[in-house]
Protein backbone atom coordinates (compact mmCIF):
# COMPACT_ATOMS: atom_id res chain seq x y z
CA UNK A 1 0.00 0.00 0.00
CA UNK A 2 1.24 3.50 -0.82
CA UNK A 3 0.90 5.32 2.48
CA UNK A 4 -0.51 8.88 2.08
CA UNK A 5 0.39 10.15 5.57
CA UNK A 6 3.49 10.35 7.72
CA UNK A 7 3.83 7.55 10.24
CA UNK A 8 3.28 8.93 13.71
CA UNK A 9 0.64 11.32 12.39
CA UNK A 10 -2.78 10.55 13.92
CA UNK A 11 -4.66 8.71 11.24
CA UNK A 12 -7.49 6.20 10.74
CA UNK A 13 -7.53 3.21 8.41
CA UNK A 14 -11.12 2.47 7.46
CA UNK A 15 -11.50 -1.26 6.87
CA UNK A 16 -14.45 -0.86 4.53
CA UNK A 17 -15.19 -0.24 0.87
CA UNK A 18 -18.57 1.33 1.66
CA UNK A 19 -18.89 4.83 0.18
CA UNK A 20 -21.40 5.64 2.91
CA UNK A 21 -18.91 4.87 5.67
CA UNK A 22 -16.27 6.98 3.93
CA UNK A 23 -18.74 9.85 3.75
CA UNK A 24 -19.69 9.50 7.41
CA UNK A 25 -16.12 9.13 8.70
CA UNK A 26 -15.19 12.39 6.98
CA UNK A 27 -17.52 14.16 9.42
CA UNK A 28 -14.95 13.60 12.20
CA UNK A 29 -12.50 15.91 10.44
CA UNK A 30 -9.70 13.37 10.93
CA UNK A 31 -7.40 12.15 8.14
CA UNK A 32 -8.12 8.61 6.99
CA UNK A 33 -7.38 6.14 4.26
CA UNK A 34 -9.45 3.23 3.03
CA UNK A 35 -8.24 -0.36 3.04
CA UNK A 36 -11.03 -2.95 2.86
CA UNK A 37 -10.35 -6.04 4.93
CA UNK A 38 -10.36 -9.21 2.88
CA UNK A 39 -12.19 -11.62 5.16
CA UNK A 40 -14.88 -14.26 4.87
CA UNK A 41 -17.72 -12.68 6.82
CA UNK A 42 -19.77 -15.87 6.56
CA UNK A 43 -17.61 -17.50 9.25
CA UNK A 44 -19.40 -15.28 11.78
CA UNK A 45 -22.65 -17.16 12.30
CA UNK A 46 -23.83 -15.82 15.65
CA UNK A 47 -27.64 -15.71 15.61
CA UNK A 48 -27.82 -12.67 17.89
CA UNK A 49 -27.75 -9.67 15.51
CA UNK A 50 -25.98 -7.33 17.95
CA UNK A 51 -23.22 -9.83 18.77
CA UNK A 52 -22.96 -10.77 15.10
CA UNK A 53 -22.35 -7.18 14.01
CA UNK A 54 -19.67 -6.64 16.66
CA UNK A 55 -17.88 -9.90 15.88
CA UNK A 56 -17.92 -9.21 12.15
CA UNK A 57 -16.47 -5.73 12.71
CA UNK A 58 -13.80 -7.27 14.95
CA UNK A 59 -12.98 -9.87 12.30
CA UNK A 60 -12.26 -7.08 9.79
CA UNK A 61 -10.22 -4.98 12.20
CA UNK A 62 -8.14 -7.94 13.36
CA UNK A 63 -7.34 -8.82 9.75
CA UNK A 64 -5.71 -5.43 9.22
CA UNK A 65 -3.97 -5.64 12.57
CA UNK A 66 -2.31 -8.87 11.43
CA UNK A 67 -1.47 -7.30 8.07
CA UNK A 68 0.52 -4.51 9.74
CA UNK A 69 2.04 -6.61 12.53
CA UNK A 70 5.67 -5.75 13.17
CA UNK A 71 5.52 -2.37 11.43
CA UNK A 72 5.89 1.02 13.11
CA UNK A 73 2.29 2.27 13.31
CA UNK A 74 2.34 4.95 16.00
CA UNK A 75 -0.82 7.04 15.92
CA UNK A 76 -2.60 4.72 13.47
CA UNK A 77 -6.07 3.43 14.34
CA UNK A 78 -7.99 0.77 12.43
CA UNK A 79 -11.76 1.27 12.29
CA UNK A 80 -14.11 -1.50 11.15
CA UNK A 81 -17.90 -1.58 11.23
CA UNK A 82 -20.72 -3.92 10.33
CA UNK A 83 -24.47 -3.32 10.19
CA UNK A 84 -27.27 -5.83 10.73
CA UNK A 85 -30.97 -5.26 10.17
CA UNK A 86 -33.13 -7.53 12.32
CA UNK A 87 -36.86 -8.18 12.09
CA UNK A 88 -38.33 -10.30 14.89
CA UNK A 89 -34.70 -11.01 15.88
CA UNK A 90 -34.01 -12.51 12.45
CA UNK A 91 -31.08 -11.00 10.56
CA UNK A 92 -31.92 -9.57 7.15
CA UNK A 93 -28.73 -9.39 5.09
CA UNK A 94 -28.22 -7.84 1.69
CA UNK A 95 -30.79 -8.99 -0.88
CA UNK A 96 -29.75 -11.64 -3.36
CA UNK A 97 -31.65 -10.00 -6.21
CA UNK A 98 -34.51 -7.63 -6.98
CA UNK A 99 -37.27 -10.05 -6.01
CA UNK A 100 -35.55 -10.77 -2.69
CA UNK A 101 -35.28 -7.01 -2.08
CA UNK A 102 -39.01 -6.61 -2.73
CA UNK A 103 -39.75 -9.46 -0.30
CA UNK A 104 -37.67 -7.80 2.41
CA UNK A 105 -39.24 -4.39 1.90
CA UNK A 106 -42.75 -5.85 2.09
CA UNK A 107 -41.88 -7.68 5.30
CA UNK A 108 -40.62 -4.42 6.87
CA UNK A 109 -43.46 -2.21 5.64
CA UNK A 110 -45.26 -0.43 8.49
CA UNK A 111 -43.35 -2.41 11.12
CA UNK A 112 -40.73 -1.75 13.76
CA UNK A 113 -37.37 -3.46 13.49
CA UNK A 114 -33.85 -3.04 14.87
CA UNK A 115 -30.62 -1.95 13.23
CA UNK A 116 -27.34 -2.84 14.91
CA UNK A 117 -24.04 -1.30 13.89
CA UNK A 118 -21.01 -2.85 15.51
CA UNK A 119 -17.67 -1.05 15.57
CA UNK A 120 -14.15 -2.11 16.45
CA UNK A 121 -11.23 0.28 16.88
CA UNK A 122 -7.66 -0.98 17.25
CA UNK A 123 -4.60 1.13 18.03
CA UNK A 124 -1.98 -0.55 15.84
CA UNK A 125 0.86 0.62 18.06
CA UNK A 126 -0.38 -0.40 21.50
CA UNK A 127 -2.83 -3.11 20.45
CA UNK A 128 -5.59 -1.50 22.52
CA UNK A 129 -8.99 -2.52 21.20
CA UNK A 130 -12.42 -0.99 21.70
CA UNK A 131 -15.68 -2.61 20.61
CA UNK A 132 -19.18 -1.17 20.73
CA UNK A 133 -22.58 -1.64 19.16
CA UNK A 134 -25.27 0.90 18.43
CA UNK A 135 -28.90 -0.19 18.41
CA UNK A 136 -31.62 1.79 16.70
CA UNK A 137 -35.33 1.07 16.66
CA UNK A 138 -36.75 1.85 13.25
CA UNK A 139 -40.39 2.01 12.17
CA UNK A 140 -41.04 1.96 8.44
CA UNK A 141 -43.78 3.95 6.79
CA UNK A 142 -46.55 2.20 4.85
CA UNK A 143 -45.20 2.43 1.31
CA UNK A 144 -46.92 0.56 -1.53
CA UNK A 145 -45.84 -1.89 -4.23
CA UNK A 146 -45.52 0.84 -6.85
CA UNK A 147 -43.07 2.69 -4.61
CA UNK A 148 -41.16 -0.53 -3.90
CA UNK A 149 -40.83 -1.32 -7.60
CA UNK A 150 -39.63 2.19 -8.43
CA UNK A 151 -37.10 2.11 -5.60
CA UNK A 152 -35.71 -1.26 -6.65
CA UNK A 153 -35.54 -0.16 -10.30
CA UNK A 154 -33.11 2.55 -9.23
CA UNK A 155 -30.77 -0.10 -7.81
CA UNK A 156 -30.34 1.46 -4.37
CA UNK A 157 -31.51 -1.48 -2.20
CA UNK A 158 -29.30 -4.15 -3.70
CA UNK A 159 -26.13 -3.41 -1.69
CA UNK A 160 -27.80 -2.66 1.63
CA UNK A 161 -28.71 -4.80 4.62
CA UNK A 162 -32.48 -5.03 4.85
CA UNK A 163 -32.75 -3.75 1.26
CA UNK A 164 -33.09 -0.07 2.13
CA UNK A 165 -31.13 3.08 2.72
CA UNK A 166 -32.62 5.33 5.38
CA UNK A 167 -31.08 8.34 3.64
CA UNK A 168 -32.67 7.81 0.21
CA UNK A 169 -34.07 11.23 -0.77
CA UNK A 170 -37.08 9.95 -2.70
CA UNK A 171 -38.14 6.65 -1.15
CA UNK A 172 -37.72 7.94 2.44
CA UNK A 173 -38.70 4.60 3.98
CA UNK A 174 -38.55 5.48 7.68
CA UNK A 175 -41.42 6.99 9.63
CA UNK A 176 -39.93 6.88 13.14
CA UNK A 177 -36.44 6.41 14.53
CA UNK A 178 -35.10 5.90 18.04
CA UNK A 179 -31.31 6.11 17.87
CA UNK A 180 -28.64 7.58 15.64
CA UNK A 181 -29.63 8.10 12.01
CA UNK A 182 -25.99 7.69 11.00
CA UNK A 183 -25.79 4.35 12.77
CA UNK A 184 -28.60 3.11 10.56
CA UNK A 185 -26.69 4.41 7.54
CA UNK A 186 -23.72 2.27 8.56
CA UNK A 187 -21.45 4.17 10.95
CA UNK A 188 -22.64 5.62 14.28
CA UNK A 189 -20.51 8.75 14.09
CA UNK A 190 -21.92 10.17 17.31
CA UNK A 191 -20.85 7.04 19.17
CA UNK A 192 -17.50 7.08 17.38
CA UNK A 193 -17.07 10.67 18.56
CA UNK A 194 -17.12 9.36 22.14
CA UNK A 195 -14.77 6.42 21.45
CA UNK A 196 -11.91 8.06 19.56
CA UNK A 197 -10.59 10.13 22.50
CA UNK A 198 -10.18 6.90 24.47
CA UNK A 199 -7.47 6.01 21.94
CA UNK A 200 -5.92 9.47 21.93
CA UNK A 201 -7.63 10.83 18.80
CA UNK A 202 -9.52 14.12 19.15
CA UNK A 203 -12.12 14.56 16.39
CA UNK A 204 -12.29 17.94 14.68
CA UNK A 205 -15.98 17.65 13.98
CA UNK A 206 -18.06 20.30 12.24
CA UNK A 207 -21.11 19.95 14.47
CA UNK A 208 -23.36 21.86 12.10
CA UNK A 209 -22.50 19.37 9.35
CA UNK A 210 -22.95 16.46 11.76
CA UNK A 211 -26.39 17.69 12.77
CA UNK A 212 -27.41 18.23 9.14
CA UNK A 213 -26.32 14.67 8.28
CA UNK A 214 -29.10 13.35 10.54
CA UNK A 215 -31.65 14.74 8.04
CA UNK A 216 -33.99 16.07 10.72
CA UNK A 217 -34.15 12.92 12.85
CA UNK A 218 -33.53 13.44 16.57
CA UNK A 219 -30.41 11.70 17.90
CA UNK A 220 -29.80 11.47 21.67
CA UNK A 221 -26.12 10.70 21.09
CA UNK A 222 -25.71 13.89 19.06
CA UNK A 223 -27.18 15.85 21.95
CA UNK A 224 -24.55 14.32 24.24
CA UNK A 225 -21.53 14.92 22.03
CA UNK A 226 -22.57 18.42 20.99
CA UNK A 227 -23.15 19.41 24.62
CA UNK A 228 -19.67 18.14 25.52
CA UNK A 229 -17.78 19.93 22.74
Higher pLDDT, 11 or 53: 53
Instruction: Calculate the CA dihedral of residues 89, 60, 18, 165 and round it to 10 degrees.
Output: 10
User: Dihedral sign, CA of 223, 224, 226, 227?
Assistant: positive
At 8 the pLDDT is: 52
Domain count, the chain: 1
**Active-site residue set:** 82
Residue 4 lies in a domain: no
Confidence band, pLDDT 50/70/90 cuts, at residue 108? very high
CA distance 146 to 172: 14
Residue 129 lies in a domain: yes
Residue 219 lies in a domain: yes
The residue-averaged pLDDT of 56-84 equals: 93
- Domain with 104 in it: what CATH number? 3.90.950.10
pLDDT surpasses 80 at 105: yes
Structural domain including 120 reads: 11-227
Residue 191 lies in a domain: yes
The residue-averaged pLDDT of 124-146 equals: 97
pLDDT surpasses 80 at 91: yes
pLDDT surpasses 80 at 3: no
- In three-state secondary structure terms, 170 is coil
At 10 the pLDDT is: 74
Residue 209 lies in a domain: yes
Residue 67 lies in a domain: yes
Residue 139 lies in a domain: yes
Helix (DSSP H) and strand (DSSP E) numbers for the chain: 8, 7
Confidence band, pLDDT 50/70/90 cuts, at residue 9? low
Residue 5 lies in a domain: no
pLDDT surpasses 90 at 4: no
CA distance 191 to 188: 5
The residue-averaged pLDDT of 200-216 equals: 95
The alpha helices in 26-130, defined as continuous H runs, are 49-67, 98-108
CA distance 210 to 171: 22
CA distance 197 to 31: 15
Amino acid sequence: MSWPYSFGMPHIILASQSPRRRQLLSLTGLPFSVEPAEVDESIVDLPDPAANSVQTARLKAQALRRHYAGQEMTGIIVLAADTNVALDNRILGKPLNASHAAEMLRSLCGREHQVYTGMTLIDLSSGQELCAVHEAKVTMRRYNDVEIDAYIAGGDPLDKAGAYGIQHPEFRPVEKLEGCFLGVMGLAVCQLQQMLPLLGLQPRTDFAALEAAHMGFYCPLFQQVSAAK
